[in-house]
Amino acid sequence: MNLIPFFETAVAVLNRNKSTELGDRTKYIGSSDVGSCARKVYLQKKDPTEPDFSTMLKFSRGHVAEILIDDMFTAAGVKHLYDTQVEVIHPNHPLKAHIDFLFYADFNGKPELHIVEVKSVNGIPDEPYPSWIDQLNFQLGLLRLKHPKGKLGGSILTIDLNAGQMHQFNGFEYNKTLFKYLCSRGLNMLDCMAEKAEPSTSTSFLCGYCSYRSDCPAMALPEVELPTEIEAKANKYVELNEIRYEADRKMRSIREELLAFTGPVFKGRSDTIDLVASTVGPSMVVDSPLLRKQYPDIYHEVLKERAGYTKLECKPNC
Ligand code: SF4
């Protein structure tokens, strides 16, 4: 029984089925679009390409995380408090969002609307990415149009299934100015789709996963003639970086297996190795987005300059 070719086809079908649930995405601008690069959104809709197997598997990780969280809410007996994949639509324009989890009350039963946007990650970031924040703010805006009154908030729930960690970025509220800006971005994208405007590029960490990167003007580099030895060193740097990346990946997996054996606290010496696991207790950190939102004056008073540094990027030119 050869499973891999089977799954290569199956994951593509699964991916297509999941996209179908969101309707014809070429006909509207969604919440994940408004926070994205306009060029990528335009090309995705005009010239859709099927992602490779690895990317589609990573997409599926997001669906798995949502199912897991739904199961946990259900197991904890709060299923009656929320709906999943709730569609909210702008009354005048083809702008819409699909909300992962929409709660109608807090756990204590007090009525409120609370959006939970789930992000499956490989390593929980210190702060939510700007594209996530835009996505949530757009959802909050569309929901506010539908429900002009009452308490309304949202959070981004990150889950790292490999590391077994979750983190909630909480405290997001409807922001009229931001929503207006995001709507104008969405309308601009619709103009691009109608060939009335030129889609602009906006670079972010997501460029690394972009299928339209190879001919992206934002990624274009001037042609230069590098000295042979510099070119060789740069190629060596790329090669070593790939080895380091692969080593990091393997180390992460071995680390999980070792910690599964040791538990959080362990000390032991064998003939060849000392094995020690210890736990660093939780500590308090300042929640910067919350500080900026609730105490903007204090936030600006405590800002300090971070020293700059030189960044070196070497990537194979293919
Ligand atoms: S590479 Fe980055 S800037 Fe270029 S189209 Fe893709 S997401 Fe946009």
Whether pLDDT at 74 is above 90: yes
Q: Which of 201, 214, 221 gets mutated to test ligand 1 (max ligand atoms within 8 A of its CB)? A: 201
Residue 39 CB less than 6 A away from ligand 1 = yes
Determine the pLDDT at residue 318.
65
Give dist(CA 239, CA 234) in Å, integer.
9
Determine the pLDDT at residue 254.
94
Q: What residue owns the CA closest to ligand 1's atom 5?
A: 40
Whether pLDDT at 60 is above 90: no
Whether pLDDT at 129 is above 70: yes
Strand extents, DSSP E, the chain? 29-30, 82-89, 95-105, 111-120, 152-160, 165-173, 266-269, 274-277
Contact 89, 95 (CB under 8 A): yes
Share of the chain above pLDDT 90, in %: 61
Determine the pLDDT at residue 207.
84
Burial 11-36 (b: 16+ CB within 10 A, else e): beebbeeeeeeeeebeebbbbbbbbb
What spacing in Å lies between the alpha carbon of 218 and ligand 1's midpoint? 7
Give dist(CA 234, CA 96) in Å, integer.
45
Residues whose CB falls within 8 Å of the CB of residue 121, separated by 6 or more in sequence, listed in order? 158, 159, 160
What spacing in Å lies between the alpha carbon of 17 and ligand 1's midpoint? 26
Q: What is the mean pLDDT of residues 147-155?
A: 95
Whether pLDDT at 174 is above 80: yes
- State pTM to two decimals: 0.74
Whole-number mean pLDDT of the chain? 91
Q: What is the pLDDT of residues 210-245, one digit of tens each?
A: 888 888 999 888 889 988 999 999 999 999 999 999
Q: At what angle do helices 130-146 and 176-193 cross, to 10 degrees?
A: 100
Confidence of residue 112 (pLDDT cuts 50, 70, 90): very high
Give dist(CA 73, CA 312) in Å, integer.
45
Whether pLDDT at 55 is above 90: no
Chain region(s) in the chain for CATH 3.90.320.10 = 3-219
Q: Which of 2-6, 55-59, 161-165, 187-191 has the lowest mean pLDDT?
A: 55-59
Whether pLDDT at 251 is above 80: yes
Looking at the CA of residue 203, tell me the nearest atom of ligand 1. Answer: 3
Determine the pLDDT at residue 51.
79
Whether pLDDT at 144 is above 80: yes
Whether pLDDT at 38 is above 80: yes
Q: What residue owns the CA closest to ligand 1's atom 4?
A: 216
Amino acid identity of residue 318, one-letter, is C
Determine the pLDDT at residue 155.
97
DSSP state of 215: T
DSSP alpha helix (H) spans, 76-210 = 130-146, 176-193
Confidence of residue 150 (pLDDT cuts 50, 70, 90): very high
CA angle 132–134–136, rounded 5-degree value: 70
- Of 130 and 156, which is predicted with more confidence? 156
Q: Which of 36, 216, 315 gets mutated to test ligand 1 (max ligand atoms within 8 A of its CB)? A: 216
Q: How far is CA 95 from each of CA 24, 152, 190, rounded to the nearest angstrom? A: 12, 20, 9
Q: What is the mean pLDDT of residues 107-117?
A: 95
Q: What is the CATH number of domain 3-219?
A: 3.90.320.10
Residue 60 CB less than 6 A away from ligand 1 = no
